[in-house]
Amino acid sequence: MRVMELVRFGDADTAFATRELPRPTPGPGQVLVRVEATSVNPLDLQTRRGDYRDQVALPAVIGNDVSGVVVETGPGAGDFQTGDEVWYLAPIFAGQGTYAEFHVVDQALVARKPAALSHVEAAGLALVGVTVWEALVERAGTRVGERVLVHGGAGGVGSVAVQLAGALGAEVVTTARAKDHEFVTGLGADVAIDFSTGDYVPQVRELGGVDVVLDTVGRDTLARSPEVLADRGRVVSIVDIPEPQNLLAAWGVNATYHFLFASPGRAKLEALGRLVDRGKLRPVVGAVVPLADIAQAHTLLEGGSVEGRSRPRGKIVVAVHQ
Ligand SMILES: NC(=O)c1ccc[n+]([C@@H]2O[C@H](COP(=O)([O-])OP(=O)(O)OC[C@H]3O[C@@H](n4cnc5c(N)ncnc54)[C@H](OP(=O)(O)O)[C@@H]3O)[C@@H](O)[C@H]2O)c1
């Protein structure tokens, strides 16, 4: 099978090489999936640059999103049959990744693909969808009528978070560049704040504060969240930050902080699938790139301009068999 292998840490242009590897065989409780589409995430950029060189030995196949078709089942993997269309978040830093024509995975991590989604759309939803579900539902316990601040509403995670927060019955405030305000309000944001031209804090305070902050940007967001949080508010951070932050003000509002690293699982995918089926959630696919052009997909996500195009909104998806 053909894979795009990470052969050296560094710039996208020189990091990947096409390789032929033996097609993997599903073990007990596993299925072999023909990968129709995968996607690129900031984690992939960080891995490619060498941030996780302790966890990832070269050469390596990276990538974590899959939408595809079951082509073989291992012993005891009776939940699926050959031909089933499935989607999943593959384990992070464990086993072969998903920039590949085929991928083996434990059936417990796999769900049936929502019929309303193409493989490209499903691959653009798995990792970010699972992350947002864990953040807003499992960690923050978002309730109907609460106000949620989603940082970076035009991004891969943010564009799903805006929709899920709205589906949960929350009022949604999000930060995005002015050019993206129509886009995020189209996803259901009630208020859009331009993070690039002013400070979001006074603008959120003017609204009366928020119950939940979803931090997709890092920097000083942890330290500043108490300035916008209601009493007993919750902060969910998905971005690791190198610098310590002073959280003294968090005591003043009885804040709860959650630090989240998304984990695979079927139940979360099924919950997301139900929202998709009911028209409450749509993946946002900004660009589709063939697997052979994985370097271009990385460059697009990094913000570079390719053939005159600027960085797309939402997800950059990789079509594997194109
Ligand atoms: N812990 C986990 O399990 C987990 C899971 C998924 C993602 N993540 C992390 O979450 C972060 C976001 O991921 P993603 O896939 O959404 O990335 P993404 O698609 O690159 O989106 C990031 C968004 O944030 C916007 N942004 C940049 N600076 C901002 C600021 N100061 N305030 C508000 N928004 C700002 C960007 O806007 P412009 O493009 O216009 O600059 C972009 O729309 C990444 O660091 C990723 O590693 C963590």
Query: 284 CB less than 6 Å from ligand 1?
Result: no
Considering Cα of 132, then 138, then 139, then 140, what sign does the dihedral take? Answer: positive
**pLDDT band, very low/low/confident/very high, at 280 (cuts 50, 70, 90):** very high
What is the average per-residue pLDDT within 179-200? Answer: 96
Distance CA 245, CA 87 (A): 37
Q: Where are the alpha helices (DSSP H) in 168-318?
A: 181-186, 200-206, 221-224, 248-252, 266-277, 294-301
Cβ-in-10-Å burial (0-12, 13-18, 19+) of 240 comes to exposed
Please name the residue whose Cα sits nearest to atom 25 of ligand 1.
152
Query: 217 CB less than 6 Å from ligand 1?
Result: yes
**pLDDT band, very low/low/confident/very high, at 305 (cuts 50, 70, 90):** very low
Q: Report whether 301 contacts 309 (CB < 8 A).
A: no
Query: 41 CB less than 6 Å from ligand 1?
Result: yes
Tokens of 5: 């292998």
Query: 131 CB less than 6 Å from ligand 1?
Result: yes
Q: What is the whole-number distance in angstroms between the Cα of residue 140 and the centre of ligand 1?
A: 19
Q: Among 47, 125, 180, 216, which is best to mutate for testing ligand 1, by the most ligand atoms less than 8 A from CB?
A: 216
Q: Among 187, 238, 300, which is best to mutate for testing ligand 1, by the most ligand atoms less than 8 A from CB?
A: 238
Q: Which amino acid is at 270?
A: E
What is the average per-residue pLDDT within 246-259? Answer: 97
What is the average per-residue pLDDT within 247-267? Answer: 97
Q: What is the whole-number distance in angstroms between the Cα of residue 157 and the centre of ligand 1?
A: 7
Helices 42-49 + 294-301 axis angle, to 10: 110
User: Across the strands, what pairs with 106?
Assistant: 30
Distance CA 283, CA 221 (A): 26
Query: 313 CB less than 6 Å from ligand 1?
Result: no
What is the average per-residue pLDDT within 294-300? Answer: 96
| pLDDT per residue as tens digits for the range 86-107 | 999 999 999 999 999 999 999 9
pLDDT value at 309 more than 60: no
For 32, 289, 297, the CA distances from 292, given in Å and listed in that order, are: 22, 8, 10
Query: What pLDDT does 310 receive?
Result: 65
Query: 177 CB less than 6 Å from ligand 1?
Result: yes
Contact residues for 11 (Cβ-Cβ < 8 A; gap 6+):
none
Query: What pLDDT does 65 receive?
Result: 98
Q: Of 206, 210, 239, 205, whose CA–CA distance to 222 is shortest?
A: 239
User: Across the strands, what pairs with 192?
Assistant: 174
Query: 200 CB less than 6 Å from ligand 1?
Result: no
User: Across the strands, what pairs with 60?
Assistant: 6
| pLDDT per residue as tens digits for the range 24-70 | 999 999 999 999 999 999 999 999 999 999 999 999 999 999 999 99
Ligand 1 atom with the smallest distance to the CA of 41 is 15
The lowest-confidence range among 26-40, 109-123, 190-204, 295-309 is 295-309
**Over the range 199-230, which residues count as b (16 or more CB within 10 Å of their CB) and which as e?**
ebeebbeeeebbbbbbbbbbeebbbbbbbbbb
SS3 track for 88-154? EECCCCCCCCCCECEEEEEHHHCEECCCCCCHHHHHCCHHHHHHHHHHHHHHCCCCCCCEEEECCCC
The lowest-confidence range among 21-35, 251-265, 306-320 is 306-320
**pLDDT band, very low/low/confident/very high, at 147 (cuts 50, 70, 90):** very high
Query: 239 CB less than 6 Å from ligand 1?
Result: yes
**pLDDT band, very low/low/confident/very high, at 304 (cuts 50, 70, 90):** low
The pTM (predicted TM-score) of the whole model is 0.97
Q: What is the DSSP letter of 311?
A: P
Q: What is the whole-number distance in angstroms between the Cα of residue 158 and the centre of ligand 1?
A: 7
Please name the residue whose Cα sits nearest to atom 33 of ligand 1.
152
Mean pLDDT, the chain, whole residue set:
96
Distance CA 159, CA 212 (A): 16
For 114, 230, 233, 255, the CA distances from 140, given in Å and listed in that order, are: 26, 13, 9, 11
**Chain centroid offset of residue 1 CA:** 26
